[in-house]
Structure 1
Amino acid sequence: MASIVPSQEDLQQCYIGKDISDVPKPAAVLDVAIIRRHCETMLRTIKTLDVGFRVHVKSHKTPEIAKLQIGDGTEANFIASTVLEIEMMIPLLQELKQKGRKINILYGIPLVPSQVPLLARAARELGENSITVMIDHPDQLPYLAKLSSLAGHPTCVFVKVDTGYHRAGLPPVSLNKHGLLEKLASAEEKGGARLLGLYSHSSLSYSGTTPEQAMGHLISEIRGCKDALERNLQLLPKRALVISVGATPQVVSSQNLLRDDSLCLEARELKALLRGTNVELHAGVYPILDMQQFSTHASADSGFLEDEIAISVLAEVCSVYNNGEREKPEALLAAGTLALGREPCPSYSGWGVVSSWRIDGLGKDSSERLVVERISQEHAIVTWESESQTKIPLHIGQVVKVHPNHACVTGAFYGWYFVVDSDQDSQSSRIVDVWVRARGCGMRAW
């Protein structure tokens, strides 16, 4: 029986050159021009600050964006949240390795037994020092030993530090929980592990609204990991260990250090910390952004949201209520929780912001904006963010773009992205490529 899932080649042949309004909807769209710009800015920042960099692929799950994230440097360090993402990345990682680049990909949650055989298979394909795992409990070490045995070489390890987010990891004062560090040292002596350093991820910065707050969170992470290192020096290998820290707001905030007017207290302290610490920054959603990330205002150079957020969801207007049927004018979209996600954003109470794209009377700098106020599985109610009684400037059958609150969750509904390029097409409407996403938890689990 023929597969019901089209190949990337079939999708490209069918859609490249078409207008995005002509594709089946709801659909996910990416503007590669915005993605390129964000990736180039980040790579320039990392080079100027002379720090390490590790890019997360969980937001987009595509090798095309992963390639833009790592640029042309000598190292190519990645993070994945699922083994599927690692499997998706194997051809790109092999290509990079053949070009002489040092590759490494971190499985970004503490090691669990079901993933060990799959990670070992990836490690055998990619070679030594290619796969890293995360440890925060001594009971995970038998899984680490099995992984190294199946792979045929030591597995790289980060010890996860909890610097205040309380999702995973150990606080600095408890890093040697039940002798974890001593047991890890023993595993390294036996050739079953190689400790890279300490790793912290904190999304506390998502609630911030200024560059100073984002920089403050990054400072706290670095301090927390330094504290953990200093408290346990006698138990750690006598070599330089990496402190890997970040999330998109923190890492984007480091771009402020390149500004001539970046003289605030947080900027000065962050510069000093980065100079005196073996830091690796890590981030994932920064190439795409979303309403959550945009609302943090982590970069002082941030522009209008339509110029900064690369992802949007195409949806059709299926009804309009402009004639007093309701307390205020509204429109109904044929896209709901599954198509948009249902993640809140601190800066407003809605579930997505409607782009001004092809809407008469609206511009990206308009003081009024349309938002998704209510949402159900397959429907969304759009209205003015204010209490305006102005008629909604939409008509039945019209196609709109909605910028979602959380790109990672929104993307999970879609098998592929339609790609546009606003550098070539100011209307951002002509499809230039189709990128297929990795979906699910494992591709090669047989």
Structure 2
Amino acid sequence: MEPLVLPSQQQLREHWVGKDLEEIPKPAVVLDRAIIRRHCARMKRTVETLGVGFRAHVKTHKALQIAEMQMDNGDPEAKFIASTLLEIEMLHPLLKSLKDAKKSVNVLYGIPLVPSHISRLATLAADIGEGSVSVMIDHPDQVPYLKDFFEVARFPVCVFVKVDTGYHRAGLPPISLNKNGLLEKLAKAEADGWVRFLGLYSHSSLSYTAQSPAEAMSHLIGEIQGCKDALGRWLSLLPTDRELVISVGATPQISSSHNLVGEGTDYPEAQKLKALLDNPCLKNNDVKVKIELHAGNYPILDMQQVSTNAREGAGSFEDEIAISVVAEVCSVYNDGERDKSEALVAAGTLALGREPCANHSRWGVLSSWRVGAERTTTRIVVDRISQEHGIVAWGSGMEGKPVPLNVGQNVRIFPNHACVAAAFFGWYFVVDSDEDQDGSRVVDIWVRGRGSGVSDPFLMTRFQ
């Protein structure tokens, strides 16, 4: 039996571009390019207006086309974060071309250092150029491995120290930043020439439980203040000959920063946040501090993100969420077979994701696309799921009404978590609601970076 060979991106484009979403194999994941453009443009306006730095995460989408849109974010430097080596390998050609064009580039491997990955990271960095790769440190035993990076790349690796500002996934609390002499060991490594200290990094997903702009802004304030406290406490062990970076964020927090340049500026939290961003420097010293915001989900959004209500004046789900899963209705139960009317769709845990979100207890929400329900009415929701199938029903208040679906009908489902929903699929079917109001015609195919093995042709020649 011949091994399965996946089609190339060009072959996918030749076959599917121009087709209606009704014609594509299902379940399938769809992105609306127009919405992504709007979110990226809004981020650019905010970053430029606030005068802060920005670092774009690529873990949600894992697509080079979106990374390129994220790059135009108002920060003169091209800065990214990745959660896997494969994501960095995906970015490698882009970073290399930017560096060759004399643009400052940097990608941060966004989890505390994995020692076995040093060789691949350093090989990529050596090809892109000095300053192109950063790592995250939160334990003194990680420091010796940084010399291995230098031995391959022949220049120092850039380093953030990970601060835990309350989320407790990774990092050190401000009071323990010098755990077992971590900061002294980094200072010694920098003096020896194989480390370049950048600053402090915090990523707190506590804001995913927010339900208002004020709550989301308060989480961002807490992150910035936590990192400032850490700098102030340990400044004597940190380099003072450069601008130190405080990198903070998660999509709800960063979405809340839009309130500072639009609606929502009358919140007390908005005034406090604006003051922190305008003057992040520590009192009574001359050390310069720069705030760098980071986020990854913001170009796409999902039910988790929009349910935080972090941005004042946001539109409907159809206006804000760029990702949807297209699924086919298998069966309908409108004739009293169950306590309430329901329908079965051919998309379950694998296609939609693993869990409800903090402010939305169901597994997804149906778009009004070709369903006939007005956007302002109670929504049809994914009430429960199994591995390959989902049960949809009316949300609260409409339980006695028949579900307006038919066998064979296609529906689009807004998932709770874009990162997890997209992970099941190898590529996105791209539509553009600016070009096609119904958002139903495939205009492009974007292939996702997937897996954990060596995928970059440049690296493959070096690890055979």
Distance 1:255 1:32 in 2: 21
Question: Which residue of structure 1 lines up, in the alignment, with residue 460 of structure 2?
Answer: none
Cα deviation 1:408-446 (Å, max 9, x = unaligned): 011110000000000000000000000000001133464
Q: How far apart are 1:315 and its partner, in Å?
A: 0.3
SS across alignment from 2:368: coil
Structure 1 segment 423-434 matched on structure 2, within 5 A: 423-434=434-445
Pair 1:356-2:357 in alignment: no
CA contact (8 A) 1:353 1:369 kept: yes
Cα deviation 1:224-265 (Å, max 9, x = unaligned): 000000001110001221000000011111110012651221
Q: How far apart are 1:105 and its partner, in Å?
A: 0.1
Question: Which residue of structure 2 lines up, in the alignment, with residue 384 of structure 1?
Answer: 394
Amino acid at match of 1:228: A
SS across alignment from 2:214: helix
Question: Which residue of structure 1 lines up, in the alignment, with residue 408 of structure 2?
Answer: 397
Aligned pair partner of 1:245 in 243, 248, 251:
248
Aligned pair partner of 2:380 in 370, 377, 394:
370
Residues 67 and 345 (structure 1 numbering): CA distance in 2 closer, same or farther, change over 3 Å? same
Q: How far apart are 1:94 and its partner, in Å?
A: 1.6
The TM-score, its normalising length taken from structure 1, stands at 0.98
Aligned pair partner of 2:302 in 278, 290, 311:
290
CA contact (8 A) 1:43 1:70 kept: no
Question: Which residue of structure 1 lines up, in the alignment, with residue 25 of structure 2?
Answer: 24
Question: Which residue of structure 2 lines up, in the alignment, with residue 93 of structure 1?
Answer: 95
Distance 2:348 2:263 in 1: 44
Pair 1:407-2:409 in alignment: no
Pair 1:268-2:271 in alignment: yes
CA contact (8 A) 2:328 2:409 kept: yes
SS across alignment from 2:370: coil
Amino acid at match of 1:343: E
CA contact (8 A) 2:251 2:305 kept: yes
Using the TM superposition, name which of 235-244 and 382-391 deviates more: 382-391
Pair 1:38-2:39 in alignment: yes
Distance 1:352 1:337 in 2: 11
Pair 1:129-2:128 in alignment: no
Amino acid at match of 2:251: T
SS across alignment from 1:429: coil
Aligned pair partner of 2:431 in 420, 432, 436:
420
Aligned pair partner of 1:315 in 327, 330, 355:
327
CA contact (8 A) 1:248 1:285 kept: yes
Distance 1:104 1:393 in 2: 50
Question: Which residue of structure 2 lines up, in the alignment, with residue 330 of structure 1?
Answer: 342
Amino acid at match of 1:330: E
Structure 1 segment 76-91 matched on structure 2, within 5 A: 76-91=78-93
Question: Which residue of structure 2 lines up, in the alignment, with residue 181 of structure 1?
Answer: 183
CA contact (8 A) 2:303 2:360 kept: no
Distance 2:442 2:10 in 1: 14
CA contact (8 A) 1:106 1:134 kept: yes
Amino acid at match of 2:246: I
CA contact (8 A) 1:202 1:246 kept: yes
RMSD: 1.2
Q: How far apart are 1:98 and its partner, in Å?
A: 2.8
The TM-score, its normalising length taken from structure 2, stands at 0.94
In structure 2, list runs of 5 or more residues that go unmatched.
281-289, 456-462
Pair 1:155-2:157 in alignment: yes
Q: How far apart are 1:152 and its partner, in Å?
A: 1.3
Cα deviation 1:289-348 (Å, max 9, x = unaligned): 000000001100211111100000000000000101111100000111001112212223
Question: Which residue of structure 2 lines up, in the alignment, with residue 110 of structure 1?
Answer: 112
Q: How far apart are 1:2 and its partner, in Å?
A: 6.8
Amino acid at match of 1:120: A
SS across alignment from 1:425: coil
State the number of aligned residues: 444
Residues 417 and 260 (structure 1 numbering): CA distance in 2 closer, same or farther, change over 3 Å? closer
Distance 1:188 1:346 in 2: 42
Question: Which residue of structure 1 lines up, in the alignment, with residue 450 of structure 2?
Answer: 439
Using the TM superposition, name which of 19-28 and 91-100 deviates more: 91-100
Distance 1:49 1:325 in 2: 57
SS across alignment from 2:143: helix
Q: How far apart are 1:99 and its partner, in Å?
A: 2.9
Distance 2:364 2:206 in 1: 21
Distance 1:15 1:94 in 2: 31
Query: In percent, how many aligned pairs have the same letter?
Result: 62
Distance 1:154 1:148 in 2: 5
In structure 1, list runs of 5 or more residues that go unmatched.
none
Question: Which residue of structure 2 lines up, in the alignment, with residue 165 of structure 1?
Answer: 167
Question: Which residue of structure 2 lines up, in the alignment, with residue 74 of structure 1?
Answer: 76
Cα deviation 1:57-107 (Å, max 9, x = unaligned): 000001100111111753100000000000001111122223332100000
Amino acid at match of 1:384: W
CA contact (8 A) 1:315 1:334 kept: yes
CA contact (8 A) 1:112 1:143 kept: no
